[in-house]
Copies of this chain bind each other. A is one copy, B any other.
Amino acid sequence: MRAPGLLAASWAIARKDLAIEFRTRSAFLSSVVFSLLAIVIFYFAWDPTAVGPLALAPGVLWVTFTFSGLLAMHRSFGVEAADGAIDALLVAPVARESIFLGKALANVVFVAGVQAVSLPAIAIFYNVPLAGAWLPLLGILLLATVGLVAVGTLFASITANTRMAELLLPVLAIPFFVPVVMPAAQATADVLSGRPIAESFAWLRILLAFDLVFVYACTVAYPFTIED
């Protein structure tokens, strides 16, 4: 009986999480509907004669992704906390980093799935021409999502065992999301207004740096969040 390695354990945990999420498919469906609703309600919150939809779209996109991502990450530790299942993970002979990596992986898959549906929706509802912007957008999405999920997963772990997880998580995480959401929204706006991607490199570099620093830092920090 050999304890599974870092990657094998991460993979087992990610698979288990995705199995729980997709057990009924409703978690995914709800997340998608939630994103669509957020996109739509944003539209009605603003007077369209005062704010053009094209100007709103990038912000709406990123705020929506932020909140639906937070929900997903909250859930991912919620299922652990409910009947103390996290204890079983902690007793298992897997590196604690692999718990973090597994959960983060599952979250990236889940959040990316939701984005894949809501991106076209926002294009239709806000009348945004995506046609030529696909590839750069995909790059921005990937870079930003990795950063959001790394930080969000770590904070979800920290807050999961407090009786206020669902409130405290955004409070802790959002300040860390600013350096992701702002560059991502700016780069998205640039791309959508037809400027060449090269003009957004400054933003993308921030995203990349954030990813590198925080994926590493959060993986290293995670074990400290769970020891008791």
Contact = CB atoms under 8 A, between A and B. Distances in A.
A40 B174 CA distance: 9
A105 to B, nearest CB: 20
Dominant secondary structure at the A interface: helix
A42 interface: yes
B71 A166 contact: yes
Interface stretch (A2-10, A59-67, A88-96, A117-125): A59-67
Best-surrounded residue of A50, A58, A66 (most CB of chain B within 10 A): A50
A78 interface: yes
Contacts of A26: 164, 168
16 contacts: A27-B164, A31-B167, A34-B167, A37-B171, A38-B174, A40-B174, A41-B181, A44-B182, A46-B56, A46-B58, A47-B58, A47-B186, A51-B55, A67-B67, A71-B166, A75-B167
